[in-house]
Amino acid sequence: MSAALERILYVDDESDIQEIVAMALELIGGVEIKTCGSGREALALVETFVPDIILLDVMMPEMDGPTTLEALKRHPRFARTPVVFVTAKAHAREIERFRELGAADVIPKPLDPMKLGEVVKGIWAKFHGE
């Protein structure tokens, strides 16, 4: 029996995309979703909201996705939490680089809100060997 997906954190500096993603992920049902706009906010938020999976934009000002992932991986509580990059840079070479950095997977932008919930559930299942 695998762990249930209950809490998702979505990090993106574009508030309109945050809203769309939150609405799309609410369609999964029974999942609590939090959003924030930067890597720094994410690192602060995970101290109180412990997500099962983190969806992380790659290109953000100040602290980009790879830098945020590196900081999360150094945190003992989140070293094994799956982090999925969400990016327009979804070319094979970039995807390989993101996986080498420790990303569980990559979701290409533009996002399809109607399929996003299923994509995230599929990544979650794959991460847990289902």
pLDDT tens per residue, the chain (130 residues)? Answer: 358 899 999 999 999 999 999 999 988 878 999 999 999 999 999 999 999 999 999 999 989 999 999 999 998 888 899 999 999 877 889 999 999 999 999 999 999 999 999 999 999 999 988 7
Q: What pLDDT is stored for residue 2 in this prediction? A: 54
The alpha carbon torsion through 94, 100, 106, 109 (nearest 10 deg) reads -30
Q: Which pTM value belongs to this model?
A: 0.94
Q: Which amino acid does the sequence have at 72?
A: L
Q: What pLDDT is stored for residue 1 in this prediction? A: 39
Q: Say whether 74 sits in a helix, a strand or coil.
A: helix
CATH architecture of the domain formed by 7-127: 3-Layer(aba) Sandwich (3.40)
Is 100 exposed, middle or buried (CB count within 10 Å of its CB: 0-12, 13-18, 19+)? exposed
- Let me know the angle formed at the C-alpha of 71 by 87 and 65, rounded to the nearest 5 degrees: 15
Q: What pLDDT is stored for residue 29 in this prediction? A: 77
Q: Which 8-state DSSP code applies to residue 49?
A: S
> H or E stretch including 19?
helix 15-26
